[in-house]
Every structure is written in C-alpha cells, then in structure tokens.
C-alpha cells in the first residue's frame, strides 16, 4: 500500500468559526478522521506544518513547505498538502520551481467550505487528492480541486466562493477524478533520471503590478527605492503597455538599465501575451521587457522570484525566464 504524507498548512478547509470570522483550527489527523472512505486507500502519515489563512502565506512559507515536501519524499510515495485556496496557485507554482526532478506526486488541495460544515467540499477534495497521490502515475506538483487535476503552474483561482474555484489556464487539465477513479488526459511524463533537488533560494523582492488606464509613470520610477529587484507588469490584452501621454516606456527602460528585469503578463485569463502583434507590444519589446508568453501571472511571478534567487545577471535571468522547466508554458 502506498504511503502518503499529509502536510497541513491551514486554509478554509481547516477553519472553524471564531468571533473574528473563520480561522484555521483543525489538524490533519482530525480532518482525515471525518473521511472514512480514506480507509484502505493508502497509509497516511501526518505533519502539521502551518495553520494559516493562505492570505498570510509568503515566500518564506513556500520555502518551509518545499523543505517539508523534500524531506517527506525521501520516505513517502507522495505528499498531499492542504492549503488555503486564495494563494494556492502561487504556492503550487513556487513549489514547481523549488522542487526539481520530481518523480512522485505533490498534490495541493483545500476547500471553499470548512470541513466541519455539512455541505463542505473539503472531504471530497481531500479524498480525491489522496486518490491522485496514491494512483502511482502522477509526478510533479498538481492541484486537485472539485474533481479536476491541474498542473501546478497553470492554476488560477477564478471563483471567490464557488466550489469550482480553480481553472486550468493555457493547458488542458491533467485529468479528473470520476467515480473514484483517476482519469489522466495525457500520458504521464517519463520519470526523471536525475534525483530530486531542493532549491529554495528565493528573492522576494519582485513586484507584481496591474496596469490601469492612466497609471502614472512616476510609480515605476519609485520601484528601485522600494528595494524591488524585478517587476512583473500585468499589462493589457496581448501585453500592451501605454506609450503615449503617461508613457510607461521611459521608466521601464530606466529600470532595465539598472538591471531590474521587467516581465510582462496579461490581465486576460486565457491565451497569454504576444508582444509581436500590436505597436504597444512591439514598442515594449524594443524597450527590453521579457514576455511571459503563455505562463500564468502566478507562474511568471514565482518563477522570477526563484530565478533571482539563483542569479542577478540580466542575460542569465532572461535565459532562465524563457526556459520551459516543467511545462509552465502552453503546449504547442
Ligand atoms: N477557501 C479558502 O481556503 C480561502 C481562505 N481565505 C484561504 O485562502 O486560506
């Protein structure tokens, strides 16, 4: 029987009502006790890592989670991580970069309704997550939520309340859990011949900024003084950046001249960006921005933090940003 580690970090799934609203209170073993269907599915081991609303999960917690997964995978066949949904997509992307050559499944799940409530989605999600972890075919970081399996670099939380909280962006879901069975949509990747490595060096000084019509260029000018070492701009449509009146290109060029890379993603949920189509993209490209292409904003942001933990050389940053490590870009 497969041995799977449950790492609990908090989130709605582990929450109970308090006088201050919902907050995480319930440990992993107590959650599992509420799900009798888990009996006989796999051998479950527990580690209580954090008890946080995922709003409070930051890059330091990503590193703690990655370290616990790394340690767990030397013993167990897979890891299930219960996590708040609000920043789960960021954590999943960050783990994908920190844990390389994964030959085992790392499955994140959570819920929109606390596990103690009668209409909770938490029991189903945990059960499905263990099914995916014990299945034996998946390797890498995935989300399992509302019956779908999503690549760790392609998840986006698209509903703040709905039980179908996540969508797979720019990639078909990896699969689904139907009638208790794990159905995969593609052949699982061949196992890596290299051994698992943990690289949890992160530089948290990356700014993610959503452009709005009329944004002041002075805002970009202030970025270096705040200690940021890279910027992700969530731009318009295919990646357009305003280049008349409040022209954002001069401060962008100044940032790049100071060796602060500027990457561009899109505010649109689907299809990513392409800076070759419109003048407002081509000019941005000429100014030296990096295009995130079909990476999600969450993946591009976590990737840039991780890359900055490896190197400060602008050319190397560019090379690593454009490199597809684990399928974070859409398949052709
Ligand atoms: N559904 C949830 O888990 C939301 C919660 N605020 C969290 O992210 O921890």
Tens digits of residue pLDDT in 24-80: 999 999 999 999 999 999 999 999 999 999 999 999 999 999 999 999 999 999 999
User: Ligand 1 centre from 277 Cα, in Å?
Assistant: 38
| ipTM reported for the complex surpasses 0.90 | yes
Q: Which atom of ligand 1 is nearest to the CA of 55?
A: 8
pLDDT at 331: 86
Q: How many helices (H) and strands (E) does the chain have?
A: 9, 18
Segment 155-183 shows an average pLDDT of 98
Q: Which atom of ligand 1 is nearest to the CA of 24?
A: 9
Written as one string, the DSSP assignment of 254-318 is HHHHTT--EEEEESSSSS---TTSSHHHHHHHHHTPEE-TTS-HHHHHHHHHHHHHH---HHHHH
**CA 220 to the chain's CA centroid:** 26
Active site residue 87: no
Q: What is 3-198's CATH topology?
A: Rossmann fold (3.40.50)
pLDDT at 240: 98
First to last CA, the chain: 38
- 331: which DSSP letter? P
pLDDT band at 276 (very low <50, low <70, confident <90, very high): very high
274 annotated as a binding-site residue: no
The proportion of the chain whose per-residue pLDDT surpasses 90, expressed as a percent, equals: 97
pLDDT band at 332 (very low <50, low <70, confident <90, very high): confident
Name every residue whose Cβ is closer than 8 Å to that of residue 195 and which is 6 or more positions away in sequence. 101
Which of 24, 65, 86 to probe ligand 1 with, by most ligand atoms within 8 A of CB? Answer: 86
| Ligand 1 within 6 A of CB of 91 | no
Q: Where are the domains of the chain?
A: 3-198, 206-321
Q: What is 206-321's CATH topology?
A: Rossmann fold (3.40.50)
85 annotated as a binding-site residue: yes
pLDDT at 190: 75
pLDDT tens figures, 76-114: 999 999 999 999 999 999 999 999 999 999 999 999 999
Apex 175 CA angle, 6 and 129, nearest 5: 15
Which of 110, 119, 155, 164 to probe ligand 1 with, by most ligand atoms within 8 A of CB? Answer: 110
Distances from the Cα of 273 to the Cαs of 26, 212, 270, in angstroms? 41, 17, 9
pLDDT at 213: 98
pLDDT tens figures, 179-237: 999 999 998 877 788 999 999 999 999 999 999 999 999 999 999 999 999 999 999 99
Which of 13, 22, 55 to probe ligand 1 with, by most ligand atoms within 8 A of CB? Answer: 55
Instruction: Please tell me which residue in 85, 120, 294, 297 is annotated as part of the active site.
Output: 85
Stretch (H or E) spanning 166: strand 166-168
Domains 3-198 and 206-321 alike in fold: yes
| Ligand 1 within 6 A of CB of 200 | no
Name every residue whose Cβ is closer than 8 Å to that of residue 313 and which is 6 or more positions away in sequence. none
Percent of residues in the chain assigned helix, strand, coil, to nearest 5: 30, 25, 45
pLDDT at 257: 97
pLDDT at 38: 98
265 annotated as a binding-site residue: no
């Amino acid at each position: 029987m497969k041995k799977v580690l449950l790492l609990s970090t908090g989130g709605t799934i582990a929450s109970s009502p308090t006088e201050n609203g919902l907050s995480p209170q319930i440990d992993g073993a107590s959650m599992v006790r509420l799900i009798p269907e888990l009996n006989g599915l796999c051998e479950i081991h527990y580690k209580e890592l954090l008890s946080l609303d995922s709003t409070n999960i930051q890059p330091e917690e990503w590193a703690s989670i990655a370290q616990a997964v790394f340690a767990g995978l030397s013993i167990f066949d897979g890891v299930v991580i219960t996590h708040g949904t609000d920043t789960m997509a960021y954590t999943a992307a960050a783990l994908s970069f920190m844990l390389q050559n994964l030959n085992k499944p790392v499955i994140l799940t959570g819920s929109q309704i606390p596990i103690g409530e009668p209409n909770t989605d938490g029991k189903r999600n945990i059960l499905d997550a263990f099914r995916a972890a014990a299945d034996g075919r998946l390797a890498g970081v995935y989300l399992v939520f509302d019956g779908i399996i999503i690549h760790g670099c392609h998840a986006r939380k698209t509903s703040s309340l709905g039980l179908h909280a996540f969508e797979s962006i720019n990639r078909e879901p990896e699969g689904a859990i139907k009638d208790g069975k794990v159905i995969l949509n593609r052949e699982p990747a061949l196992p890596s011949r290299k051994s698992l490595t943990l690289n949890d060096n992160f530089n948290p000084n990356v700014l993610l900024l959503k452009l709005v019509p009329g944004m002041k260029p002075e805002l970009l000018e202030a970025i270096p003084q705040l200690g940021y070492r890279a910027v992700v701009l969530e731009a318009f449509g295919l990646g357009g950046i305003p280049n008349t009146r409040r022209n954002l290109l001069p401060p962008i060029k100044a940032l790049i001249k100071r060796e602060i890379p500027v990457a561009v993603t899109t505010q649109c949920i689907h299809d990513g960006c392409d800076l070759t189509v419109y003048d407002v993209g081509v000019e941005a490209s000429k100014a030296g921005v990096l295009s995130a292409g079909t990476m999600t904003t969450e993946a591009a942001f976590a990737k840039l933090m991780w890359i900055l933990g490896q190197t400060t050389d602008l050319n190397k940053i560019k090379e690593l940003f454009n490199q597809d490590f684990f399928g974070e870009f859409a398949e052709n």
